[in-house]
Amino acid sequence: MKPLPLDKAFTLIERGPVVLVTTHDGHSQNIMTISWTMVLDFAASFAITTGPWNYSYAALLKSKNCVISIPAIDQIDTVVGIGTCSGQQVDKFAKFNLTAVKAKHVSAPLIKECLANIECKVVEVIERYNIVVLEGGAAYYNDARQEKRMIHPVGDGTFIADGRKFDRKIMMRSKLPDGV
């Protein structure tokens, strides 16, 4: 991966892709899938929505850092798989054959197989809304990756990449609300 100018990092999330967020609590690393993201400004300020229901949340609060990794559409089943199992029982890097790459500024690892990675520090947690405000410190884009289409969630177990819908309702049934 090559460095990406930090003032361009917002372009990696502006379109609202599903992201993988890595954490490291000082003992072990983990990955969680997050579909609720937001760019806060043109600088490298972002927000994600997560809370105590995610195993990685405690590590995020403890370490005060994470990496936002942006997968491509060819990783859709990995992304859904990561989101439907817990790091409390599974080493997700091993289970999904992902390579952890040491970050330069945070304890959480980058994911080598992803299209892009953004090293982030936690700057605020808005508990009422389960919003974690992040400030980017470094960003990387994988130019060598052939597939560059990002995954966009619809919210009902289906996904869009460049206008095409990928139905994973059956695979995600355990995580979807009744009636969806």
Placement of tokens 């995600």 in the chain: 172
Helix (H, G, I), strand (E, B) or coil at 172: helix
C-alpha span between 18 and 82 (Å, rounded): 12
Number of Cβ atoms within 10 Å of the Cβ of 46: 23
Query: For each of the chain's 180 residues, which pLDDT tens digit applies?
Result: 889 888 878 767 656 789 999 999 999 999 999 988 999 987 899 999 999 999 999 999 999 999 999 999 999 999 999 999 999 999 999 999 999 999 999 999 999 999 999 999 999 999 999 999 999 999 999 999 999 999 988 888 888 897 677 899 899 989 887 877
In a domain, 156, yes or no: yes
Range(s) of the domain holding residue 94: 2-175
Q: Is 80 exposed, middle or buried (0-12, 13-18, 19+ CB in 10 A)?
A: buried
CATH number of the structural domain spanning residue 22: 2.30.110.10
Tell me the CA end-to-end span of the chain in Å, nearest whole number: 39
In a domain, 180, yes or no: no
Phi/psi at 77 (5° precision):
-70, -35
Q: What is the pLDDT of residue 180?
A: 75
In the 8-state DSSP scheme, what is residue 60?
Answer: H
In a domain, 39, yes or no: yes
Give the count of domains, the chain.
1
In order of 90, 135, 171, the CA distances from 46 in angstroms are 28, 6, 29
Compute CA 97 distance to the chain's CA centroid, rounded to the nearest angstrom: 16
